[in-house]
């Protein structure tokens, strides 16, 4: 395609001090194409996107769009060039309507501090946008009342509100969507593609590449290592994980435990909460990992919160180390020896503006302080040792968590749990937005933890639950399908979670 490509980035270099984040990178994108951008965290794909969106300035190379060269030295310059970006966690105002969010910051047709906001004009402009991109979404609805996919669509329409938009960058748009919502988003992407829009699609879900993309490009170590058409890759059996990891990728899951007589640490007996889950029973043992699979809306999220004292069950019992327990708050659960790695690490698991040391030690202040004073030297040493154990990259202990990738943020949550030294670890959606390399490390850490504690993995990813757990069970509309078992197959587990039937 070369110089004829709609977007042609040639010889792009970028350094941060001694680190060469991009090394002589070429990237091409065609109009009316969905192009997946892949690579482990730190591979260089985020740096490339930030150069294209004007957040970073390139050190060398050229960028041409439709034959015209652009410097793109600022976000405004990128917008003026027709580049629209939807971040992984788009910032929307929940109590405003979809239409109001789309034109947030552009409510006034006329300049002036006291120009009135015309609600009818905003609705007319929103209707015109839907005529341009025919998508089924109610933009008069408050964003807080929308399903996740509609919020994602609002964020996309906000990015496309300018008439000159011709390149759309989507960063992990399906990370919080159900399978059905994902299908709706993909339908919208096909609509945008048919309009001639060029789409760069960043994802860690490799199965989605073959479902939605026309081509994919893999980055590794700051270089572009491969670009293939999806049909070509399927025909020739090209392995994306092998390209990403520079090796023949083996099973990312560590070997299962063969222990069947481990000490029971944590039990649920007929646990129920009206309208959310019912009659859930399990035993979590030291030496093995218990897996609970359930789609979004199946009750798995509410169950995890009940196990950690965020929600109170209506009936049933919890037993920890042989004694019945009742948690009225997460603080009580934490004190008793339960640690939850939450599904939404940004809002429930981390203080994004604080550094690695603070986030690692905050859940165990009794260990981190003495006589009311923080043990700064010891805390730095302990945090450094844990950062090394979880393979945090880069190992910058004073860096705020906002400066880390999703996978590395998740590693800090796990380091926080390791510092706590709990009896029970509950992992909820542990690898959302995490690349394949970081996933393998997280699964290995789970297996190591299971040697001394009970580990429970709760996820809407069937392959994850089946791959990492020793015993598994599915939750369907709040009810467990059968009992946790070592004998259930992956297909049977998936069938139970989707259809609610044991096979």
Token output for 104: 């947030």
Phi and psi based region of residue 461 (left: phi greater than 0; alpha: psi -120 to 50; beta: remaining): beta
Share of the chain above pLDDT 70, in %: 93
Summarize pLDDT for 118-127 with one digit per residue, the tens. Answer: 578 888 888 8
Summarize pLDDT for 257-278 with one digit per residue, the tens. Answer: 888 788 999 999 999 999 899 9
State the chain's mean pLDDT as an integer.
87
The DSSP-derived string for 98-140 is: HHHHHTTT---SS-STTPPP-HHHHHHHHHHHHHHS-----TT
* pLDDT higher at 45 or 317: 317
**Contact residues for 199 (Cβ-Cβ < 8 A; gap 6+):** 33, 34, 35, 167, 168, 169, 170, 189, 192, 193
Measure the N-to-C terminal CA separation of the chain; round to a whole number of Å: 50
Summarize pLDDT for 121-151 with one digit per residue, the tens. Answer: 888 888 888 888 888 888 889 989 988 888 8
- The dihedrals phi and psi of 62, each to the nearest 5 degrees, come to -135, 155
The mean-pLDDT minimum among 227-236, 285-294, 439-448 falls in 439-448
Phi and psi based region of residue 297 (left: phi greater than 0; alpha: psi -120 to 50; beta: remaining): left
Report how far Cα 18 is from the mean position of its chain's Cα atoms. 29
Token output for 304: 């995890």
Catalogue all structural domains in the chain, each as residue range(s) with its CATH number. Answer: 2-245 (3.40.50.300), 263-337+424-503 (3.40.50.300), 353-421 (no CATH)
Residue 466 is predicted with a pLDDT of: 92
Summarize pLDDT for 159-188 with one digit per residue, the tens. Answer: 888 878 899 999 888 876 777 788 888 998
Summarize pLDDT for 488-501 with one digit per residue, the tens. Answer: 888 888 888 877 87
Buried b (16+ CB within 10 A) or exposed e, 5-15: bbbbbbebbbe
């Amino acid at each position: 395609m070369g110089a004829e490509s709609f977007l042609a980035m040639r010889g792009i270099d970028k350094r941060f001090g001694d680190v060469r984040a991009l090394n002589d990178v070429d990237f091409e994108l065609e109009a009316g194409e969905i192009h997946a951008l892949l690579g482990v965290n730190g591979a260089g794909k985020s740096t490339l996107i930030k150069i294209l969106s004007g957040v970073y300035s390139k050190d060398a190379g050229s960028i041409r769009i439709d034959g015209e060269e652009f410097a793109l030295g600022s976000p405004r310059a990128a917008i003026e060039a027709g580049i629209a970006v939807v971040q992984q966690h788009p910032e929307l105002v929940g109590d405003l309507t979809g239409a109001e969010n789309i034109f947030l910051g552009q409510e006034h047709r006329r300049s002036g501090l006291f120009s009135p906001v015309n609600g009818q004009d905003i609705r007319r402009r929103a209707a015109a946008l839907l005529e341009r991109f025919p998508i089924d979404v109610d933009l008069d609805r408050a964003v807080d009342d929308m399903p996740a996919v509609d919020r994602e669509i609002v964020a996309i329409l906000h990015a496309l509100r300018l008439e000159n938009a011709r390149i759309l960058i989507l960063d992990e748009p399906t990370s919080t969507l159900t399978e059905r919502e994902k299908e709706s988003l993909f339908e919208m992407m096909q609509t945008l593609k048919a309009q001639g829009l060029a789409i760069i699609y960043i994802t860690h879900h490799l199965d989605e590449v073959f479902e939605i993309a026309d081509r994919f490009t893999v980055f590794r170590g700051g270089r572009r290592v491969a670009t293939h058409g999806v049909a070509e890759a399927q025909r020739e059996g090209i392995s994306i994980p092998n390209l990403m990891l520079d090796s023949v990728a083996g099973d990312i899951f560590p070997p299962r435990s063969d222990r069947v007589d481990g000490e029971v640490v944590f039990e649920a007996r007929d646990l129920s909460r009206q309208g959310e889950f019912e009659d859930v029973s399990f035993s979590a043992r030291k030496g093995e990992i218990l897996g609970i699979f359930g789609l979004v809306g199946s009750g798995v999220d509410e169950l995890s919160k009940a196990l950690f004292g965020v929600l109170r069950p209506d009936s049933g019992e919890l037993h920890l180390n042989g004694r019945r327990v009742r948690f009225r708050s997460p603080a009580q659960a934490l004190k008793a020896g339960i640690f939850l790695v939450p599904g939404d690490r940004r809002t429930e698991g981390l203080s994004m503006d604080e550094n690695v040391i603070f986030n690692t030690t905050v859940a165990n202040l009794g260990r981190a302080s003495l006589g009311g004073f923080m043990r700064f030297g010891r805390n730095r040493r302990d945090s450094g040792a844990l950062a090394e154990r979880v393979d945090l990259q880069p190992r910058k202990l004073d860096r705020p968590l906002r400066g880390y990738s999703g996978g590395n943020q998740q590693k800090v949550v796990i380091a926080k749990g390791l510092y706590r030294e709990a009896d029970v670890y509950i992992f909820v959606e542990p690898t959302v937005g995490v690349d394949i390399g970081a996933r393998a490390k997280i699964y290995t850490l789970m297996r190591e933890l299971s040697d001394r504690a009970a580990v429970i993995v709760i996820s809407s990813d069937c392959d994850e639950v089946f791959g990492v757990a020793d015993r598994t069970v599915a939750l369907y509309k709040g009810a467990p399908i059968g009992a946790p078992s070592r004998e259930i197959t992956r297909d049977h587990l998936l069938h139970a979670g989707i259809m609610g039937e044991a096979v």
